Amino acid sequence: MSSRLVASMPDAPKRSSASSRIRSRVGFPAMFETLQENLYQMVEKPARTCSVIAESLAGRRIAITGSTGFVGTALVERLLRSVPGCELFLIVRGGRRGAPSRVRREILNNDAFDRLRSELKDTAEDFEAMCARRVHAIDGDISVDGLGLSESGRAQLASCHIIIHSAAAVAFDSPLDSAVEVNLLGPVRLAALLNEMHSESAAKPHLVAVSTCYVAGNRRGHAPELLVSEGPFDIGLDWRAEVDSARRLRGDVEAASRTPQALERFRANARRELGAAGAPALAAKTEQLRDKWVENELVRAGRARAASVGWPDAYAFTKALAEQAVFETKGDLPVNVVRPSIIESALAEPRPGWIRGFRMAEPVIISYARGLLREFPGVPEGTIDVIPVDIVVAAIIAVAAKGPEAPFITQVASGSTNPLRYSQLVDNVRDWFTAHPVHDAEGQPIVVPDWNFPGRGRVQKQLDRAQTLVMRGERLLQSLPLRGTQATWSARLEERRIEIQRALEYVELYGLYTECEAIYSVDNLLRIWNELDARDQDTFCFDPRAVSWDHYVQNIHLPSVVEHARVKMTPGKTKTDRSARLRANVLSPNRQVAAFDLENTLIASNVVESYSWLATRHLNGPERMRYVIRTLREAPTLLGMDRKDRGDFLRYFYRRYEDAPVEQIERDAMEMMTHIIVAKSFPAAIRRVREHRALGHRTVLITGALSFNVESLRPLFDEIVAAEMSIRPDGTYSGQLTKVPPTGETRAQVLGEYCDANGYSLDECVAYADSTSDLPLLEAVGHPVAVNPETRLAAIARKRGWLVEEWDKAAGAPKKLLPLAPMLNERQR
């Protein structure tokens, strides 16, 4: 609010003093006191119904960056509802959908606007019409010089009177170079562009930049509303040198990730995770691991650089540098900075508890409620400086309305005037989740732990030890040939490892904030607050003293957190479990094709077992014994080859069919149908094939088994794709395949070609398989199903939310280690 406007208003009479003067002077009876009250209302009320802030911003064009974020969305909503005379220009990256579409989908469709939408429902101008008139999208990117604006975008921005810059890389674990480009250089680029566009103009737009209180760094005690360079803790950093260093670092880390040693390590880790998934899948995973390593190294670099110069992380570090950079480069552009502390859910506006996405505290709170965080560091008597988002938004609007006359820096924090002690917050959270416990998958209440507030280093060591033990167990289980229920042990261990990693990240990211003992001054904030009249104070409340922390935490914030986290808060199992929903989706009439693997998906057998049956069909007793010993001795080698590359294994193994008579093999294969395929099939799998056929779905069998071994299954399938072996002129098999066996990525290609030829969509296909070698097939379809999965696939399926089926053999099925054909007598052989 402009101080000029405040000064121009007639002083409102002090109601209590005026009433007392009249009573003491005249001694009016009670009936005249009522008349006096009516006269007072007639004179004073008109002055109160006019919001000076709203008047100051009426007719103004306001550009906003970061409007898709938490603060930005709340800011847009508040301006549209409480400042009806302004127009908004929202600068967002257009992306694939374009800026107008993103504004509609990601901002205006948010539930923050439900209140305003309801208020305008039966008026002459509904919400959509009002937005069409007052909200404009500009395609722009603050990480690019000139913001990447088109000519029309530049013209729209040039027409704006106020620019509120709230865009930021708010993640505390951003890579250093990303944080520099967005947090540091973003506002510098914006200020430079505004100066360029208004170089010939005497009246320049007003820039309000949103920063953070944590630019004060890891200091203790009083943190004033000053630039860091103006305080006693300035160490003279050159922000330009930091930019150059961060940009060089990206190139250095990228180069390090491409050394032969690093690439070999990424490839080995990819193979350890995916097994024999095929070259394309392994290549994609290797590159994914390389990219992740680069990002992690840049995150570590950001933390290390920030810690070395006294900041908790790259976010606070780059925000501090940004303030200095803007101050040095702004020229005569009017700039004000608003520094909030930790922003959490709304106190009242647009509704109590409104929040967009999870902030800093929510992941920690939910992990605590689930019993995953047994300890967390912090100073119990210290202050956790939290501020509701609507208080922050109101303060930003007040600074924008006051204009350049506002203090250069205004902090919006609670610690100095209305402190929330860390122990008070923890007590409130524990009491609330004791009364309203989260329930586990079995519907049992989870008992929350008592925190003893150990040091951050101690908690990190405990989590590091737990993570090491889990990783050792995970590697052991992955080395064993486990399937189905047993394989889920490995998947559960992986989930536990991820939980520990997440807890460790929380301690590393947020531990410094819970141990922070800085107290942020809000003198400038309260000075602006005290200048407001009662109407503006009621409409735009940004007084931190208005928050009752016990009420806010227990009755507003925590109910909102559990609602957004969608955690189970009621006892008992859910009526419809997730597997049942996925299974119903798989068996929807809308599906078109169901593709099945053979081994360990339809039958509990493999190519070694079928070969053993055929190979021993015409052997005598001693020959059988020698065959069994030789095969068992070779088993580890065969298993290793199969895990490394399924296609290479099949080529190697099928050479054993060389010189086998075709007629004899085909005859024996039909007999084998009864002994192996029928006896070792999964009845539930056969029923599933028939269910798909009954629904009108096409059924396809894609297997690396030889075609003569699966011919007897043809009545179940519309199409069978199997390995084919060439036949010599003398009627014997050559031991060589006629084409690439349908394994790995070839299976996905086969199914894709089948769908293309018949007019089907892969998105409407179902695929059933058991191994990571089938991963390309499972990833290609819209509805993957892992059947009796091996350990690696069990972990992947669990992580991605795929349907997992555990199908058993029929009761009484043979359990021989190596199935042999019934022995023929000498004459039959």
Q: pLDDT digit string (tens) for 142-156?
A: 999 999 999 999 999
Assign 41 a pLDDT band (cuts: 50, 70, 90).
very low
The whole-number average pLDDT for the span 545-574 is 86
Q: Which residue would you say has higher pLDDT here, 777 or 218?
A: 777
The whole-number average pLDDT for the span 784-798 is 88
Q: What is the pLDDT of residue 564?
A: 83
Assign 601 a pLDDT band (cuts: 50, 70, 90).
very high
Q: What is the pLDDT of residue 47?
A: 39
Q: How far apart are the first and last CA of the chain?
A: 103
Assign 478 a pLDDT band (cuts: 50, 70, 90).
low
Per-residue b or e along 773-802, where b marks 16 or more CB atoms closer than 10 Å to that residue's CB: bbbbbbbbbbbbbbbbbbbbbbbbbbeeeb
Q: What is the pLDDT of residue 339?
A: 96
For residue 654, pLDDT over 80 is answered with: yes
Assign 612 a pLDDT band (cuts: 50, 70, 90).
confident
Q: What percent of the chain is modeled with pLDDT above 70?
A: 85
Cα dihedral 640, 644, 647, 648 in deg (nearest 10): -70
Q: Where are the alpha helices (DSSP H) in 175-278?
A: 176-179, 185-197, 239-257, 260-274
Assign 817 a pLDDT band (cuts: 50, 70, 90).
low
User: To which residue do tokens 């290479």 refer?
Assistant: 648
Question: What does pLDDT average to over the chain?
Answer: 84
The whole-number average pLDDT for the span 723-742 is 92
The whole-number average pLDDT for the span 561-587 is 80
For residue 324, pLDDT over 50 is answered with: yes
Nearest to 605 by CA among 685, 679, 712, 688: 679
Q: What is the pLDDT of residue 455?
A: 62
Q: What is the pLDDT of residues 395-418, one digit of tens each?
A: 999 999 999 999 999 999 999 999
Question: Cα dist. 356→126, 188, 336, 344, 800 in Å?
Answer: 24, 27, 26, 9, 24
* Class of CATH domain 582-805: alpha beta
The whole-number average pLDDT for the span 445-462 is 74
The CA distance from 626 to 633, in Å, is 11
Read off the amino acid at residue 751.
L
Q: Whole-prediction pTM value?
A: 0.76
Read off the amino acid at residue 393.
V
Confirm if 782 and 800 have CB atoms less than 8 A apart. no
Q: Which residue would you say has higher pLDDT here, 19 or 410?
A: 410
